[in-house]
Amino acid sequence: MDLTGRVVVVTGGGAGIGAALCEGFFSHDAVVAVLDIDSSAAHRVAANTSGIGLAVDVTDESGLTQAIAAVEERCGAIDVFVSNAGVAFADSADGDVSGDDEHWRRSLDVNLMAHVYAARALLPAMIQRGEGYLVNIASAAGLLSQVGAAAYSASKHAAVGFAESMAISHRHEGIRVSVVCPQYVQTDLIRGLDPALIAAVPGEVLSPAEAADKIIAGICAEQFLILPHPEVGRYFQNKAQDYERWIAGMAKLRSRAADD
């Protein structure tokens, strides 16, 4: 996809990967709309990208639908919608993976249902036009797992599954879908995870700008699975080839991190 002149919306665009994506899309001469629950952050990034900023809670379907309508009224039809907003919570201190109900609800609402709400609002018009692009930011945890964060892992697996379903069901209607599964990126999101577990996992912690560059390259190439950390693909293959060994290895990783 050539992004020149395309109308691109990014949720969670006020900081982290979202803000870096907005800046990257702007550098590709796209028209950028920044959606964020933090109004001042949305407007700050919008000012830096000659775009528009709107405050929206992506877990509020009505509010998200209204924000999408406002973008279309001001900028025209949305070509690319990036569902980037996300949350992460660590398991309880005693290691209970069932965790806190509110953490589970919030994880599923932000990391999954916000993607569903966006697709529900956008797909009819995109299908009618015969083109559109939905980008769901998931996580390597959606292909593998984030040790010590069961709600996060489950919600990201669900996000990957939803993206797969959209790609399968709507490709013939001109809809393109990407799901992005990075490992660790230096954002506020990883502060909700156990630092010992992050340190125990091999691989580079990317800056938001580095991650955004890789994501935008994948979008331009219209890749379904975008891996800012290429090694995640290898880990995913290892998991599929020997699930039992992979579970045992992850359990050892958790034990090592707990001992640190």
Long-range contacts of 169-173 (CB under 8 A, 24+ apart): 170/123, 170/127, 173/126, 173/127, 173/130
Clarify whether 235 is annotated catalytic: no
Candidates 117, 152, 184, 235; catalytic one: 152
Got the DSSP string for the chain? Answer: ---TT-EEEEETTTSHHHHHHHHHHHHTT-EEEEEESSHHHHHHHHHHTT-EEEE--TT-HHHHHHHHHHHHHHH-S-SEEEE------PPPTT--TT--HHHHHHHHIIIIIHHHHHHHHHHHHHHHHT-EEEEEE--GGGTS--TT-HHHHHHHHHHHHHHHHHHHHHGGGTEEEEEE--S-BSSGGGGGS-HHHHHHS-S--B-HHHHHHHHHHHHHTT-SEE-SSTHHHHHHHHHHH-HHHHHHHHHHHHHHHHH-
244: Cβ contacts below 8 Å, ≥ 6 apart: none
Q: Which residues are part of the catalytic machinery? A: 152
